[in-house]
Amino acid sequence: MNIIVCIKQVPDTTEVRLDPKTGTLIRDGVPSIINPDDKAGLEAALALKDEHGAHVTVLTMGPPQADKALRESLAMGADRAILLTDRKFAGADTWATSMTLAAAIRNMEYDLIIAGRQAIDGDTAQVGPQIAEKLDIPQVSYVEDIKKDGNSVVVKRVFEDGYHMIKAQMPCLITTLSEMNTARYMSVQGIFDAYREKEVETWTYDNIEVKEEYLGLKGSPTRVKKSFTKSVKAPGKKYDVDPQQAAKIILENLKEKYIID
Amino acid sequence: MNHMDYKDVMVFCEQRDGRVEKVSKELISKGRQLANELECCVRALVLGHEMKDDLNELIHLGADEVILVDEKELAVYMTEPYTKAMVQVVLDKKPDVILVGASTIGRDLAPRVSARINTGLTADCTKLEVDEETKNLLMTRPAFGGNIMATIICPDHRPQMSTVRPGVMTLAEADTARIGVISKVPVAFETADMNVEILEVVKETKTKVNIEDANILVSGGRGVGKPENMTSLENLATRLGGTVSASRAVVDAGWIDRNNQVGQTGKTVRPDLYFACGISGAIQHLAGMEESEFIVAINKDETAPIFDAADLGIVGDVHKVIPELMKLLPVHEEK
């Protein structure tokens, strides 16, 4: 079985802080990580490999620095790593990103494609389903559990009010939730191999077949018209008083706002 | 692409068990506002089978036409049949704008549809406006974990698609005098369209709380300390006639169900009163609750960012302040 895991290197947004004076992002020193939903997907692929045997390829589109995320994936146990990087890919929205990734995947053999549900820096949850559409294969998103059953996978697909157990014949694409598992650590030998023995293949525009007009900023239907930090609202009143006093103040405020009689 | 061929606002109305989801009604309300500015109509698209709800409600909320595709293949959500049905209607009606609720269904369907019809899709918009000059839809959404806001446009492709999370747009008052039409549109499915097999449908009925619908939320964060302490928050919520919610830390710790999580990866809420107890106020959390009408924050750490978002801040221990407050609050009559 050939599994392709699509991953994204993201800034750890939980570590990002706003400069209280300027309202701008403080990005310095924010570590880059493998996007959590994607890492769960990689773990799911490696677990399938442990149980049934599989060849696991990790694929990412990004700047050259994304090499680090791929090395980490190799150190966890992935067999092959491909970095799609080219200036022509830059500025892509989800439509153009999925176009690029789908074009790369067409050059590979695959039974199962796994992508994280969404990336923490964009939160769109679009690239996985859009890759599936462009490859014309079925998708199941929001997957919390996966088992292989012959030529199919049986997955637990989560909804707000329950779940479906779904059987999908391969080839198909699933998107995974970070809650589904706890990713394994890199082994010492794995880290050694990832940097000494294994290599990260770099693919550019020349390695894939897709019209240049569909790529990057130029190929993106959506544009960022402007971006801004949220206007800071006037701070409310803050009291540092004893609990009895505090309770009284809260009560007065709730009455004033007609929240209680 | 000739933009003139595309007009009107279409709202995908999601149904579960034959009932239209609230987020879809919120989007009909928003769609009506946009349509008034664009001087066009609103179409509600309902994909399902044997609907239980009276679809006239969608007209009362602002739709001019309800397009109902009633087929047995659409009873339970499955990506391919839904995509096929939606794409067929979209290609026929050529809407200028499509709004979809950002549920676990809408966030599966909308990207698939946008890829099939080759147009842009903007996820989880918190604000939708019409550009006065170009008539383009201005779609504003949080990015980077809610740290920045971006206004997105889709200038050269139609339709302009966006998803909106539940609770973000305000539900309009129903006007029972409004009239419109309900049209049935058939869609033919083949065996190949049913490309996955649903083995089992499980509804988890366990105290399904909708924190998005609550007028008052008492929300706990890491500062609550331990799971047992959630009880005092529940007591306060009961006394106030509200519901308990929580930050991600508390959900991850397993003290409360994920359904009750407020924030970027949880739910967006805007109750009349949001009580933040022991919540430090990470940006991801603020993104989910800062639109609340009145925010009270209690936290030991006077530098906690939650105080910047709060209308009333109390520097103190949640477990000392809440009991004192309980003494003062009138006992809530069970209605």
What percent of chain B shows pLDDT beyond 70? 96
Distance between CA atoms of B159 and B121, rounded to whole angstroms? 9
Euclidean distance between CA atoms B56 and B66, whole angstroms: 8
Q: What CATH code is assigned to B211-328?
A: 3.40.50.1220
Q: Residue A150 and residue B15: Cα distance in Å, rounded?
A: 34
- Whether B154 has its CB under 8 Å from any CB of chain A: the answer is yes
The larger pLDDT score, comparing residue A19 to residue A193, is at A193
B79–A139 CB contact, under 8 Å:
yes
Residues of B in Cβ contact (< 8 Å) with A153: none
Chain B closest-CA separation from residue A20 CA (Å) = 10
CA distance, residue A255 to nearest chain B CA (Å): 11
- Same topology between domain B3-193 and domain B211-328: yes
Tell me how far apart the alpha carbons of residues B297 and B311 are, in angstroms, rounded to a whole number.
Answer: 8
Q: What is the pLDDT of residue B177?
A: 96
What residues contact residue A247 under an 8 Å CB cut-off, 6+ apart? B321, B324, B325, B327, B328
Q: Residues of chain B with pLDDT > 90: what percent?
A: 77
Q: What pLDDT is recorded for position B334?
A: 47
Task: Give residue-wise pLDDT tens across range B62-82.
Answer: 999 999 999 999 999 999 999
Distance (Å, whole) CA B267 – CA B58: 24
The b/e string for A52-80 (b: 16+ C-beta within 10 A; e otherwise) is eebbbbbbbbbeeebbebbbbbbbbbbbb
- Element of type H or E holding A45: helix A36-52
Interface of B with A in 123-152 (CB under 8 A): 123-124, 138, 142-145, 147-152
CB atoms within 10 A of CB B91: 10
Q: Do A223 and B123 touch (CB under 8 A)?
A: no
Which tokens belong to B294?
């009145």
**Alpha-carbon distance B19 to A212, whole Å?**
45
Q: List, in order, residues 6 or more apart from A7 with CB less than 8 Å away.
A: A34, A35, A38, A39, A41, A42, A58, A59, A60, A69, A70, A73, A116
Interface residue B48 vs chain A (CB under 8 A): no
> Distance between CA atoms of B177 and B62, rounded to whole angstroms?
11
B40 touches chain A (CB under 8 A): no
For residue B154, the chain A residues in CB contact (below 8 A) are 221-223
Report whether A167 contacts A150 (CB < 8 A): no
Annotated domain spans of chain B: 3-193, 211-328
For residues B143 and B314, which has the higher predicted lDDT (pLDDT)?
B314
Domain A2-214 has CATH 3.40.50.620: yes
pTM (predicted TM-score): 0.84
Decide: helix, strand or coil at residue A81: strand
- Helix/strand/coil for A260: coil
State mean pLDDT over A99-111.
98
**CA nearest B322 in A: which residue?**
A247
Check whether A72 has a pLDDT greater than 70.
yes
Q: Given an 8 Å threshold on Cβ–Cβ distance, is B298 in contact with A246? A: yes
Q: Which residue has the tokens 């430090």?
A: B280
Q: How far is B273 from chain A (nearest CA, A)?
A: 7
**Binding-face residues of A in 182-221 toward B, CB within 8 A:** 220-221
- Residue-wise DSSP of B74-108: GSS--HHHHHHHHHHHHHHH--SEEEEE-STTHHH
Nearest to B218 by CA among B269, B280, B277: B277
At residue A228, the pLDDT reads 82
B38 interfaces chain A, CB cutoff of 8 Å: no
Determine the pLDDT at residue B178.
96
**A252 pLDDT more than 60:** yes
Q: What is the pLDDT of residue A194?
A: 93
Alpha carbon separation from B41 to A155, A205, B57, B60, B186 (Å, rounded): 41, 44, 16, 14, 22
Question: Is the dihedral angle over the CA atoms B79, B81, B82, B88 positive or is it negative?
Answer: positive
Question: Model confidence over A1-32: pLDDT tens digits?
Answer: 999 999 999 988 766 666 666 656 666 778 89
pLDDT tens readout for residues B291-319:
888 999 999 999 999 998 999 999 999 99
Instruction: For strands A223-228 and B42-48, give the pairing.
Output: unpaired
Question: What whole-number distance in Å separates Cα of residue A8 and Cα of residue A1?
Answer: 23
- pLDDT tens across A121-176, in order? 888 999 999 999 999 999 999 999 999 999 999 999 999 889 999 999 999 999 99
- Measure CA A229 to chain center: 23
Between 3.40.640.10, 3.30.420.40, 3.40.50.620, 3.30.70.360, what CATH number should domain B3-193 receive? Answer: 3.40.50.620
**CB atoms B321 and A243 under 8 Å:** yes
- Written as six digits, the tokens of B317 are 């221990």
pLDDT score of B208: 57
Contacts of A127 in chain B (CB under 8 A): 111
Q: Is the pLDDT of residue B47 over 80?
A: yes
Interface of B with A in 187-206 (CB under 8 A): 195-204
Structure tokens at B50: 């044997």
